[in-house]
Structure 1
Amino acid sequence: MALILLSLTTLLLSLFLLPTAHAQSAPPPTPAGPINITAILEKANQYTTFIRLLNETQAANQINNQVNNSHDGMTVFAPTDNAFNNLPPGTLNKLTNQQQVQLVLYHICPKFYSLESLLTVSNPVRTQASGQDNQVFGLNFTGQGNQVNVSTGIVEVPIYNALRKDPPLAVYQVDKVLIPKEFSEPKPPAASPPPNGDGSGSAAKDGGAAKAPSTSSPGNGSGKMNVGFGLVSGILLLCMGLLSS
């Protein structure tokens, strides 16, 4: 009887310890791969136009390199395909190549922002387009509670959905294209060149004018005639002196 009880006890202990031993021998989970902004957007399946612009302007590579190879986070505001379709016809085609790049960079902030932190930031918030052409290209955020609105000065839209919200990259859906107000404002005047204080330009002009007509030839001929006349006069005076003696 004692032998039977011992056998049952050993069997029960084996049953309890088997899952633990199996768990300890299980392989560790495979680490997640590098962050890829286009893969995130492709998974959401409504960002075809924005993905194309990210690739054409090389902004996708910039995002991936920064969030995977540095401690600097980023925040992307991704317009849906419907947002681009709702633009006035020909809006993108009217932009220059530089403006298309600025438009894409305007949807990217060089820092990670959670939705909560966007309610406490100091407006305007810098974007990747800030500083180009000596213009601000900033975004303004307002709201309360769980609602956050983003404004460009001419476009305002609520942020509804977070496609990714974990550091170092946040990706938020927006249902309007964030057109910067700088596109409708005149560019600041270019800096004037420094004044030329040495007067070299005017001096060169004066020198050129002075060289044009030369009066040295007549002067030189007159000098030669005066020397010749003096020489003849001296000889005549010498002859007269000899004769008088």
Structure 2
Amino acid sequence: MKQVLFFPFLLFLVFFILHCTTTSAQSPAESPAPSGPANIIAILKKAGHFATFIRLLRNTDMGEQLNGQLKKSNLGRTVFVPTDSSFSSLKLGTLNALTDKQELQLVQFHILPDFYSELQLQTATNPVHTLAGDSNAGHFQLNVTAATAAGKEVNITTGAVSTTVEKTIYTDDHLAVYQVGAVLLPLELFGAAASPTASKPEKTRPSTEDTATTSESSGAFGPNRQAMTAISFGVVVGSLFSFLL
């Protein structure tokens, strides 16, 4: 009788042990360890074709600054990234002509101080502020609008260039990275108002009439006056000679 009761108990014990072993083996796969904060350089390296923008992020230390800002849970960022081909289409020497401050402003102009999903970009209030300038003073702003009523495309205008958001490279709760079709050139750095040649006054040339008048007043009548003086002297000498005779 004891053997009959012991067998079901033993069978139950075996199944219980197998169940516990299976559950403990599956638990790590069901709850993976949380990933660390996003790294903008790593994201762009993985996507490819963004070597120039990566170099600018490193030269200006904006890559490290952006990564540090993203570690704060209350901050969000949106980054517009031009491809290497977009930088290649710029006028030769454009980047080399920038000062260190201007290079930093160019990179910051591609970063928004808030997180924008693609839908939020389509309905954003313009102008949109960037990290490049004083938002209260209205510096270094851009406009982001939906290209169509359906909102399937997003247009970006800076005052110096217009382009579109081509695709989403990366997005999470705090960071959105979008590929854009051109380098976003700030109006403050590349606009007509910033051109050093625009403010140079034109040199005024004297008119033909002024030149003629100057020539006349500076000696054009010199020979005529000398001739009149000689004639007058001759008349006086002739009159005196006839009086003596």
Could you state the TM-score of these two structures normalised by the residue count of structure 2?
Answer: 0.66
User: Which residue number corresponds to residue 84 of structure 1?
Assistant: 87
Please list the CA deviations of residues 107-139 of structure 1 after superposition, one character each: whole Å capped at 9, or x if unmatched. Answer: 01111111100111111100001229x662111
Name the SS for the 1:138 alignment partner: coil
Tell me whether 1:162 sits opposite 2:175 in the alignment: no
Say whether the 8 Å CA contact 1:135–1:182 is kept in structure 2. Answer: no
CA distance in 1 between counterparts of 2:124 and 2:29 reads 45
Say whether the 8 Å CA contact 2:52–2:84 is kept in structure 1. Answer: yes
Tell me whether 1:104 sits opposite 2:87 in the alignment: no
CA gap 1:135/1:27 in 2 versus in 1, 3 angstroms: closer
The structure with the largest alpha-carbon Rg is: 1
The offset of 1:14, in angstroms, is 6.0
Q: What does 1:10-25 align with in structure 2 at a 5 Å threshold?
A: 18-24=21-27
Say whether the 8 Å CA contact 2:124–2:145 is kept in structure 1. Answer: no
Q: Pick the aligned partner of 1:58 from 28, 50, 61.
A: 61
CA distance in 2 between counterparts of 1:162 and 1:84 reads 19
Could you state the TM-score of these two structures normalised by the residue count of structure 1?
Answer: 0.66
Of stretches 8-17 and 143-152 in structure 1, the one that deviates more from structure 2 is 8-17
Letter in 1 for 2:187: K
Name the SS for the 2:142 alignment partner: strand
CA distance in 2 between counterparts of 1:20 and 1:42 reads 39
User: Which residue number corresponds to residue 230 of structure 1?
Assistant: none
User: Which residue number corresponds to residue 145 of structure 1?
Assistant: 151
CA RMSD of aligned residues (A): 2.8
Letter in 2 for 1:20: T
The offset of 1:28, in angstroms, is 5.0
CA gap 1:157/1:26 in 2 versus in 1, 3 angstroms: closer
The offset of 1:24, in angstroms, is 3.9
The offset of 1:39, in angstroms, is 1.0
Say whether the 8 Å CA contact 1:106–1:129 is kept in structure 2. Answer: yes
Say whether the 8 Å CA contact 2:49–2:84 is kept in structure 1. Answer: yes
The offset of 1:45, in angstroms, is 1.6
CA gap 1:152/1:21 in 2 versus in 1, 3 angstroms: same
User: Which residue number corresponds to residue 37 of structure 2?
Assistant: 34
CA distance in 2 between counterparts of 1:25 and 1:57 reads 41
User: Which residue number corresponds to residue 67 of structure 1?
Assistant: 70
CA gap 1:27/1:124 in 2 versus in 1, 3 angstroms: closer
Tell me whether 1:47 sits opposite 2:53 in the alignment: no
Please list the CA deviations of residues 137-177 of structure 1 after superposition, one character each: whole Å capped at 9, or x if unmatched. Answer: 11111114332121212322221221211121111111210
Please list the CA deviations of residues 170-199 of structure 1 after superposition, one character each: whole Å capped at 9, or x if unmatched. Answer: 111112100112222436xxxxxxxxxxxx
Question: What percentage of aligned pairs have identical amino acids?
Answer: 43
Tell me whether 1:178 sits opposite 2:184 in the alignment: yes
CA distance in 2 between counterparts of 1:159 and 1:66 reads 24
Please list the CA deviations of residues 27-81 of structure 1 after superposition, one character each: whole Å capped at 9, or x if unmatched. Answer: 9523312321111111112111101111111111221111113511111101111
User: Which residue number corresponds to residue 197 of structure 2?
Assistant: none
CA distance in 1 between counterparts of 2:155 and 2:33 reads 38
CA gap 1:25/1:117 in 2 versus in 1, 3 angstroms: closer
CA distance in 2 between counterparts of 1:175 and 1:115 reads 16
The offset of 1:8, in angstroms, is 7.0
Say whether the 8 Å CA contact 1:79–1:175 is kept in structure 2. Answer: yes
CA distance in 1 between counterparts of 2:29 and 2:173 reads 29
